[in-house]
Structure 1
Amino acid sequence: MSASPSSPARVPCPCGRRDRRELPLVYAQCCGRYVDDFENTPAPDAESLMRSRYTAFVREQAGYLLATWHASTRPATLDFESGVKWLGLDVRSRSVLDADHAEVEFVARQRSSAGVATRLHERSRFVREEAGLHNRWYYVDGDLN
């Protein structure tokens, strides 16, 4: 039995990542493997973590967002604004500072339930630390532009 075009196996990943042929990657082949199996499949680099965190915001998956937020800056809880529609992600740059530190600059677009469009332009900082059986990347903080 094949998957229908609207099945989760065929849904393009919200992060917008594309393959070598410039076709959108589906959720399961992209951020889904990190978001849905965080314990066993950590994001391999800061950009992949940033993209998967954007996807988790789109899908309102607070557990993943909190688990990938560095303990030094992580909030106790995370609430989502009702009615927000995420419109897209544009990764502007990525910088590997050393083996355990990186930055990713991105613009995320959203529309509120009142129809107001906004852009979040941030240079985010990430750190990689040993965590159990894996080295994991964590979001630390960011500077808004």
Structure 2
Amino acid sequence: MSPRPRPVRATPATCPCGLPSAYDDCCGRLHRGETRASTAEQLMRSRFSAFAVHDEAYLLRSWHPTTRPPGIDFDPGLRWVCLDILGGTEGGPFSTAGTVEFRAHYTERGRPGELRENSRFVRHDYAWVYLDGNISK
């Protein structure tokens, strides 16, 4: 019996993170491991895109090992549609920690919603990773 082909995940033409670039040239490069995020905001954007395209491997890889869940349960009725960066602290190329406040817009079974969070990021093994966040309404 021949091996079963891996399913090919469709990728959006424009990047879900909100920057005016094609997904393959923007967050897709981080998801494929071709480069690493140089700032906490870039990691935040790439993680939003990973949720949008259901890239579990990238999400887990970019999560701090002390707070990382064993897996991601993607809700098939939830679609991430837009990201607004509201602010942040530190998190630059030479920082070791930072925060990013964002609002993520989604639809859940056709109904619009939003998630607002102030996320904390740190450097771990020389790479930016998501540590945790405070969700607000």
Give the TM interval when normalised to the shorter protein. Answer: 0.7 to 0.9
Q: State yes or no: 1:16 paired with 2:18.
A: yes
Secondary structure in 1 matching 2:70:
coil
CA apart distance, 1:116 = 2.3
Unaligned runs of 5+ in 1: 1-6, 18-23
**Whole-angstrom distance in 2 between the partners of 1:57 and 1:96:** 24
**Whole-angstrom distance in 1 between the partners of 2:124 and 2:106:** 31
**Whole-angstrom distance in 1 between the partners of 2:57 and 2:25:** 20
Q: How does 1:122-141 map to 2 (within 5 A)?
A: 122-130=117-125, 135-141=126-132
Match of 2:22? 26
Secondary structure in 1 matching 2:15:
coil
Number of positions where the alignment pairs a residue of Structure 1 with one of Structure 2: 125
Match of 1:120? 115
Match of 1:36? 32
> Among 103, 106, 111, which residue is 1:107 paired with?
103
Match of 1:56? 50
Match of 1:4? none
Deviations 1:58-93 (A, max 9, x none): 000111001100001000111100122222000001
**Whole-angstrom distance in 1 between the partners of 2:119 and 2:98:** 8
> Among 71, 77, 83, which residue is 1:83 paired with?
77
Match of 1:65? 59
Normalising by the residue count of structure 1, what TM-score does the alignment of the two structures yield? 0.80
Paired residue type of 1:129: H
**Whole-angstrom distance in 2 between the partners of 1:11 and 1:77:** 27
Unaligned runs of 5+ in 2: 1-9
Secondary structure in 1 matching 2:90:
strand
**Whole-angstrom distance in 2 between the partners of 1:99 and 1:112:** 36
Moved more, 62-71 or 26-35: 26-35
Is the 2:67–2:132 Cα contact (8 Å) retained in structure 1? yes
CA apart distance, 1:129 = 2.1
Secondary structure in 2 matching 1:12:
coil
> Among 107, 114, 134, which residue is 1:143 paired with?
134
